Every structure is written in structure tokens, then in C-alpha cells.
Chains A and B, each alone.
Chain A
Amino acid sequence: MNKNKQLWALIKFQLSVYPLIALVVMPLAIGAMFYSNSIVYLVNLHYDPPLDQMLSEQNLFLVAIFGMALLAPEIARTAASAQIPTGSEFVLTRAVDRPLVLRSRAVLYYFVVLILPLIALPLAATQPSLQVGEFSATAQQQVIEALPGSMAMDGAPYESRHDILVPHGAVLVAAWRFWVILAVAIIGEAFVMLIYPFQWRRWLLWVGFFLLVFASTSFLIFADHSSKHVTFTKRMFFGFVAHQPVIWLCTLAALVMAHLWGERRFAGAEQ
């Protein structure tokens, strides 16, 4: 049977399984958390956030929640919600190749989590320059050294501010955000598929979920924000900017490999 036809039928079916409102709210939730800085900027036009704040991603757990809901809704069931059908049993007993069921779910998952970050890329290109306000001259220097073409700006509104103009900085930040979400989404898929065949998968899922929340919060709390050191997030970002082609290739390879591995695992798991 034609696999493309199967996949398309399954995608359309997956779309019908979720209420339309959920499919609208999920991407908006991802978008809102990443663009909160822009919202702050709109409210206070004198505020150019430091680079760390622009790159922060303390709410990445939303990607994990959507991964759980879209890739394997059946594994997050509690005793109370076990009677609410997810459609999995129905779909898996139709004339389908099982790996395609996961593929159709993955298409929806990556679409939901990546659509707004993807739209943000061309939007960022319309106003590519970025103004960053660091709180120390050291931090300002770090940014200028790491991001080619960036330059210090004079005339900051406050003495403690050290503004920097980064040509194409908005595009770089938008690409970074896209990459971060993609990377977390890949890890999320791999994790969900890793625990999928296990009997205690529901508990493992919640352990993984809280670890992610704890880890992302820890980054903010325990990260060294002193002006002398480059923070972990910044180091990651500078590395991303310096090695973009390699990073994108590796990420795409990881996406394909993680998904194909997940398909095999999904097809071999009991329901």
C-alpha cells in the first residue's frame, strides 16, 4: 500500500483527533514564551535586554508537554483518565504500517512546536539589526569579540548600560531560538520513545518532565551571571554562531536518526 497515501490519511486523522483550539493554542504558547522579551521591549521602548535574557528558555518544558501529548498521548494516562480514548488502539488496528503512525504524530508535533520560531526567521530578517544592553563593559566586550560585526554604541540612557549593535543579531537570535526548540523537541521525542515500551513509562515520563523543569530553572538560578565570566547560555550561543553549518547538519542528522529509531521502538511496543 502506498506509504505516502497512508501517511497523509494519518496526518489528516491526527489533526481531527485534537480540538482545533488546542492546535492553535499550543504553537502560541511556545511563541509567547520565546517572545516575552519582545513584549517587554514593546512596553518599555528604552529597554534593550542583555543577550542572556534574549537567549533564556526557562519554559522549554512546554515542548516536552506537547511532545508527550502529540507523540504518545497514551503513555501519560492516569488511572482516572485511562477511560478517555486517545485513538491509538483504533489507529493501530487499521490497515497501516505502524512506523507511519508515529511519523504522522511527529509531523504534527514538529509543526506545532516549530511553526512560530520558523515564521520568526523571515520576520527577523526584515529588521536584522539587534541592540543589546549589557550591564558591564566586560560583558559588552565579550559580545563584541564573539559576534562578528558587532560594535559598542554611545549614548546609552543609563550609565550602567553598555549597549551593543549587532548587525544580523535579530536573525542570529531567531535562528538560535529555532535551534533550541528543535534540539529540545528531538531530545523530547527520543526520551518519549526510549521509555515507550516500559511498563512504568508513565512514571518515567513524569520524572523526565520534572528533571527538565528543574534543569531549565537551575540554569537561571545557578548560572554565573557575574560580568567576568561568559555565561553557559552565551557560550552556547557564541558556539552556535561560530559553527552554524556543522550544528545544523548534526541537528538534522540527529532528527532523522532519533525519529527512525523511535519508529522502530514504537512499532515493536505493545499497546
Chain B
Amino acid sequence: MTYDDPIEMQNVSRSFGGPPVLSDLNLTVRPRSIYGFLGRNGAGKTTALRMLAGLIKPHRGEVRVLGGDPFTAGAEERQWIGYMSEKPMLPGSTRVSSITAMARALYPQWDTAMEEALLSKYEIGRRARFSTLSAGRQRLLAFIMAIAQRPKVLLLDEPAANLDVVARREILDDILGLIRDSECTVLFSTHILSDVERVADEIGILAKGSLRVSEPLDSLKDSIRQFHCFGFTNGVPREELPGAFRVSRTREDVTITMRTHPEITPESLARRWSCQCESRALSLEDIFVELSLNQS
């Protein structure tokens, strides 16, 4: 199956009986990139990832993974899609050895050396039952099951949840290693922004079911600024600025978060509104908060 981008979602909408969880979502992830998927709780990240994993269907729009519909994909196509759910994945009585045995049988390309190295690194015993593993080790096992199949697309839903900082960094290093050694494309959702900053080539911020931004991290940081205007001589202006996605006004000042615009600088705003104005770059966390709070 031919494809340009390994992950594509076009105008995807989905609801679960209430308001839409995803609403005209458009998402494209380039080959061999690491895409960080951010959003508040309930923003639709897990729904989008479950759709990409072929567990649910869109009500409207099209979902493509490696050029095919993941919901109808058979074993041949599915062997190249790695998925790690945000929830514990297996009944407690299942032994680690049973899980790995099934994986070895199902995946011709299964990397046994990687599986053994990672089980040893994360100190997960083969005879252990799933219920006896800590929540963190259960996550690590799920990660091993997704990564050792040498996928072309790796979908990770909150991979670092329940993990200590050391394990989190090790997981991120493993993801980077996988990208370095293979043709893998990674899409991962997280609330931990430092993880995104550490590894992601591109980030998408999902709010109310649609992507507010989707671009490389550096470009995003360069392109979004916050202007703080105060000391108005003619009162606080009510004017809307093009490209502003959040404006907060008090009696004395205005704070505007917006994409950089050649005609809008602190000096031009100071002249326009007869005030003082300063601008500052935003951290990823600030950008995330501003975009998530934006209701438009």
C-alpha cells in the first residue's frame, strides 16, 4: 500500500452520544518523525489514538495509517502498527512469558534481543503475573510489547504515566533509538510537556476535539508571542487583532496571545492604543495553556 504520510486523519468527527469528542480533526504525521500530541483531559487524544489503532471508527472523515484503514486492517497490515494503551492492558493472571510468547508467534519481525534487553533493563521477570507488576512496570511491559515488534508506526497513549523520572527518560531514549535505527514514525500523547520538548519533532495541541496547532516545536515557540499592554491614556481598547487566539482584559491592561504578525509589534501596539507595551516569548507550557483556554 502506498502512502506519503504514515498517519493521516482528515475531517474526522466522533461522538459518544453527547457533544463531539473529535470535531473535524485534521492530523498528518510525517514519516520518521516524533509527534507529541497534547491536550487537556477529555480533549480527545485517547479517542484519536484508539481510532488510529483501529479500535473505533470515525462517524465522519477518514483515518489512514500506513495508507490503509486501521479498523479493517488484517494481520499483515497490523503487524507494522505498534500501540500502547493508556489503560492496564491485561488480566492479572496473565504471565509475562505468555504475552511475549504470543508476540513472538504473531510478529515475524519480532526483535527478541530487544525484548530480552528491555525486560532485563526494566527488571521485569518472565514468570511474573501481570497483577504482581507495579503500575509503572505494567506500563513498561506495554511499551516493550509495542516497541519490540519493530513497528513502522508507533502509537503511545500516555506512555510515561505512572513512571518515575528515570524510567520516563529511559522510555524516551528507547523511542529515540527506535527512530534512529528504523523507519518508525511515533505519535504519542502526554501531559508531561518536558517529555515533548525532549523528543518531539512536531507537536499538536488538541482542544475541544480539533487541533489548535500542529507544527514543529521550534517554529511554534518562535511564532507565538504574548503582548502585555498597560498605561492606556484613552481607556482599554476593545479592538480585536487578527490572529489573536486569547485576549484577556482588565480595567488597566490587556494581555494578548497571538501568532507573530509583521505589522504587530510592541511599538506598533503602543502607538495604536496610546499605551506601553511589551512582548515575551512563551514556554511550551504557556502556549499549551493559552491554546487550551482559547474557546474560539
A binds B: yes
Which stretch from A92-100, A225-233, A248-256 is at the chain B interface? A92-100
- The interface on chain A, measured as residues whose beta carbon lies within 8 A of the other chain's beta carbons, has a size of 28
- Residues on B with C-beta less than 8 A from A84 are 91-92
Q: In A57-82, which residues have CB < 8 Å from any B CB?
A: none
Given contacts A95-B107, A96-B106, contact A271 B76 (CB under 8 A): no
Given contacts A85-B89, A270-B56, contact A95 B95 (CB under 8 A): no
Rounded to whole angstroms, the CA-CA distance of A90 and B103 in the bound complex is 11
Rounded to whole angstroms, the CA-CA distance of A5 and B108 in the bound complex is 11
Given contacts A270-B55, A271-B56, contact A89 B75 (CB under 8 A): no
Given contacts A95-B75, A96-B75, A97-B75, contact A17 B103 (CB under 8 A): no
Q: From residue A6, how far is it (CB to closest CB) to chain B in Å?
A: 6
* A216 part of interface (Cβ distance < 8 Å): no
Mostly helix, strand, loop or mixed at chain A's interface? Answer: loop
* A19 part of interface (Cβ distance < 8 Å): yes
Provide the B68-111 mask, 1 if CB < 8 A to any CB of A, else 0.
00000011101101010101111111110011011101111000
B89 and A89 within 8 A (CB): yes
Q: In A33-47, which residues have CB < 8 Å from any B CB?
A: none
Given contacts A9-B106, A16-B94, contact A90 B89 (CB under 8 A): yes
- Residues on A with C-beta less than 8 A from B92 are 84
B75 and A1 within 8 A (CB): yes
* A18 part of interface (Cβ distance < 8 Å): yes
B57 and A270 within 8 A (CB): yes
* A126 part of interface (Cβ distance < 8 Å): no
- Residues on B with C-beta less than 8 A from A95 are 75-76, 78-79, 106-107, 149
* B54 part of interface (Cβ distance < 8 Å): yes
A86 and B106 within 8 A (CB): no
A89 and B85 within 8 A (CB): yes
What would 9 more interface pairs be, CB under 8 Å, given A12-B105, A90-B145, A97-B74? A1-B79, A5-B105, A6-B105, A9-B105, A12-B101, A84-B91, A87-B89, A93-B81, A270-B56
